[in-house]
Amino acid sequence: MRARLHPTDGGRAAVLAELARAPLDLLVIGGGINGGGIAREAALRGLRVGLVDKGDFGSGTSSRSSKLIHGGLRYLELGDLRLVFEACQERDLLRRRLAPHLVRPLPFLFPVYAGDSRGLLAISAGLWLYDILATFRNIRWHRRLSRQATLALEPGLRAQGLRGAGLYYDCWTDDARLTLETILSARLEGALVCNYVAVTALRKRDGRIGGVTLRDAVGGRTLDVAAAVVVNATGPWVDAVRTLDDPAASPLLRLTKGVHIVVPRARVGNRHAVVLRAPTDRRVMFAIPWGEQVLVGTTDTDHSGTADNVQADRADVEYLLEAVNHQFPTAALRAEDVVSAFAGLRPLVAPSGAQSASPSAVSREETIVTSPSGLVSLAGGKLTTYRRVAIAVVARVVAELRARGDRRRFPKSQSHRKPLVGARASNGAASGWAEDGHLRTRYGGRVEELVSVLASDGRLREPLAPPLEDLRGEICMATEGEMAVSLEDVLRRRLHVALRDPSQGLGVAREVAALMAESLGWDETRRRQEEEAYRHRVAEERRRWGSR
Ligand code: FAD
């Protein structure tokens, strides 16, 4: 009999009962990085807070980013110096204290070619400014490289017209897990968090919002929850939730779609993250090494219609392949070489007149808006700066509580001091094999929770889909310790199989479903439904962009 992990919150049913039991100070709608950050900030400041997501945590934009914790070199061009400064500070804090296991330094090469709008000197000046805005605390100082030095570092780069390059540093993360850990950290501080629970209505009295109606997709129940303040942190769905408040509310967002592809690194051959320019429109994008693969992205095109089920299509994939093949001529990648593709929506704030600007020129800054009925909506923001946004939103919530006569003393923000759960010191119980490989990076100090599971059954220590390193036992961690509910939660967000296995994990779907069934008590019908739903989803995605 293998060891089991025990959820510290007593599981979904207990959380839902507790949400309904007594009024909350704050109910956060949306379990992306922003909602997670707000819940953690609020819990740390002593508020009774709940957080719900209609799907899995991080299943919206927060697992579909370029996975960079970065100052945003590109935003220098847009003149967003404050944004760059703040992002650099947050990058530093995440890398050094909050989540060093999840936020890792990454060198970037920015090649410059004859005819580029900015020459080597201009790029170098930009990198100086970037280092200055990081108050010289970035991983290392940038360097300006000659053509020869550039080719020595990246021999596969297109040599024709190459003038040289800038070498600079930013950080790379696992966006889905950074979001999850933020939410697990909020839970540890007392937040009541639950996924697969949608807000279907806002409850009002005398025109003021005083709570929400929730629909639990797992248990099928509907329940009412009272909350003094409701925050709408639903990313691309912000306007949909605003219409629950006021059907005539004007849209806050301009949504743009961003697609990434994963391709074999052996074909591209890059040693660093490399800045690419699309040959057709000169847009900047990245080729980021990811083990034996490379993440290439992103596109940036306007999106209209619902935020649900946004997908990569063939034209997106062709555009990205063209860019990477142009920069690395021997790669000669074709659609059939693509391992996976995924799409996300940028919830950008739509300033008036912005529809005429190109999507890439729309600011990444955030806006916080309170409606006449008291709904606090957050629009915009980046993965990197989520903590700053959370501080501002919770300050607004506290002001709202004060305005209603709440006289409690709330401590000041402490989120900069407290590391996320995985970054807390481990007790050293993890044995040698758990120290190695990807487990430390993925779980940090939480690896010890996994050890008991892995130690109880040798089979669980075997890789699930070699050559990927994800272990079978991590499925138990995902269901029992990380609130995973569906096959997709496990394969796409807790592990990397859906993004990095050429069959998106279809070869192991049955086995994963069986392990989840054992862990979550599914009957045979449910197990089969889960497996079928996953197969269907993968087939649908591949039909949109793939050639297989
Ligand atoms: P989301 O992550 O979308 O979360 C919103 C959540 O609300 C969803 O999980 C959804 O299920 C839930 N929800 C919606 N409606 C309801 C409802 N009625 N009830 C309950 N829940 C609901 N930033 C960086 O810093 N670095 C990068 O490298 C980077 N790259 C990016 C690349 C792309 C292609 C894109 C699209 C964005 C990128 N960003 C990056 C920006 C960043 O990813 C987003 O700004 C951020 O993830 C937004 O998070 P969020 O929590 O606001 O929204």
pLDDT digits (tens, 9 = 90+) for 295-331: 999 999 999 889 998 999 999 999 999 999 999 999 9
pLDDT band at 78 (very low <50, low <70, confident <90, very high): confident
The answer to whether 278 and 322 are in contact (CB under 8 A) is yes
Residue of 234, 321, 329 whose CA lies nearest to 280: 321
Q: Which CATH number fits domain 12-61+176-252+362-403: 3.30.160.250, 3.40.50.2300, 3.50.50.60, 3.40.190.10?
A: 3.50.50.60
- Classified as helix, coil or strand, 258 is strand
The fraction of the chain above a pLDDT of 90, given in percent, is: 80
Our mutation pick for probing the ligand 1 site, out of 38, 62, 243, counting the most ligand atoms within 8 A of Cβ, is 62
Rounded mean pLDDT, 32-57: 98
The fraction of the chain above a pLDDT of 70, given in percent, is: 93
- Residue 492: CB within 6 Å of ligand 1? no
- Cβ neighbours of 529 (radius 10 Å): 14
Whole-number pLDDT of residue 327: 96
User: Where in the chain are all domains bearing CATH 1.10.8.870?
Assistant: 427-545
- Residue 320: CB within 6 Å of ligand 1? no
Rounded mean pLDDT, 331-359: 82
Structure tokens given for 316: 């997106």
Whole-number pLDDT of residue 547: 62
- Residues 6 or more apart from 369 whose CB is under 8 A from it? 252, 376, 377, 379
Rounded mean pLDDT, 415-441: 77
- Residue 66: CB within 6 Å of ligand 1? yes
Q: What radius of gyration do the chain's Cα atoms show?
A: 23
Whole-number pLDDT of residue 449: 85
CATH class for the domain made up of 89-172: alpha beta
Q: What pLDDT digit, counting tens, does each position of 113-132 carry?
A: 998 988 999 999 999 999 99
- Distance, in Å, from the CA atom of 442 to the CA atom of 420, rounded to the nearest integer, reads 13
Mean pLDDT taken over the chain: 92
Whole-number pLDDT of residue 538: 95
User: Where in the chain are all domains bearing CATH 3.30.9.10?
Assistant: 89-172, 254-349
Rounded mean pLDDT, 267-272: 96
- Residue 32: CB within 6 Å of ligand 1? yes
- Residue 384: CB within 6 Å of ligand 1? yes
The answer to whether 110 and 168 are in contact (CB under 8 A) is yes
- Residue 237: CB within 6 Å of ligand 1? yes
Res. 502: pLDDT tops 90: yes
- Residue 231: CB within 6 Å of ligand 1? no
DSSP state of 459: G
Res. 436: pLDDT tops 80: no
Q: How far is the CA of 241 from the centre of ligand 1 (A)?
A: 15
Whole-number pLDDT of residue 77: 80
Whole-number pLDDT of residue 364: 58
- Residue 71: CB within 6 Å of ligand 1? no
Whole-number pLDDT of residue 62: 98
E-only strand ranges, 140-292: 143-146, 162-172, 192-194, 197-205, 208-216, 222-232, 253-264, 273-277, 284-290
- Classified as helix, coil or strand, 164 is strand
> Which residue CA neighbors atom 18 of ligand 1 most closely?
199
DSSP state of 47: -
Alpha helices, H only, 274-385: 314-327
Whole-number pLDDT of residue 359: 59
- Classified as helix, coil or strand, 442 is helix
- Residue 101: CB within 6 Å of ligand 1? no
Q: How far is the CA of 515 from the centre of ligand 1 (A)?
A: 29
Q: How far is the CA of 32 from the centre of ligand 1 (A)?
A: 5
- Residue 54: CB within 6 Å of ligand 1? yes
Res. 145: pLDDT tops 80: yes
Q: What pLDDT digit, counting tens, does each position of 81-95 carry?
A: 888 999 999 999 999
Res. 43: pLDDT tops 50: yes
- Distance, in Å, from the CA atom of 452 to the CA atom of 285, rounded to the nearest integer, reads 42
> Which residue CA neighbors atom 12 of ligand 1 most closely?
30
CATH topology of domain 254-349: D-Amino Acid Oxidase; Chain A, domain 2 (3.30.9)
Atom nearest to 35 CA in ligand 1: 51
Res. 481: pLDDT tops 70: yes
pTM recorded for the entire structure? 0.96
Atom nearest to 199 CA in ligand 1: 19
Longest dimension (CA), the chain: 71
Whole-number pLDDT of residue 354: 44
> Which residue CA neighbors atom 5 of ligand 1 most closely?
234
Structure tokens given for 238: 């912000």
Integer distance in angstroms from the first to the last C-alpha of the chain? 41
pLDDT band at 408 (very low <50, low <70, confident <90, very high): very high
DSSP state of 98: I
Question: Which CATH number describes the domain made up of 427-545?
Answer: 1.10.8.870
User: Where in the chain are all domains bearing CATH 3.50.50.60?
Assistant: 12-61+176-252+362-403
pLDDT band at 264 (very low <50, low <70, confident <90, very high): very high
Q: How far is the CA of 81 from the centre of ligand 1 (A)?
A: 23
Res. 10: pLDDT tops 60: yes
Q: How far is the CA of 234 from the centre of ligand 1 (A)?
A: 7
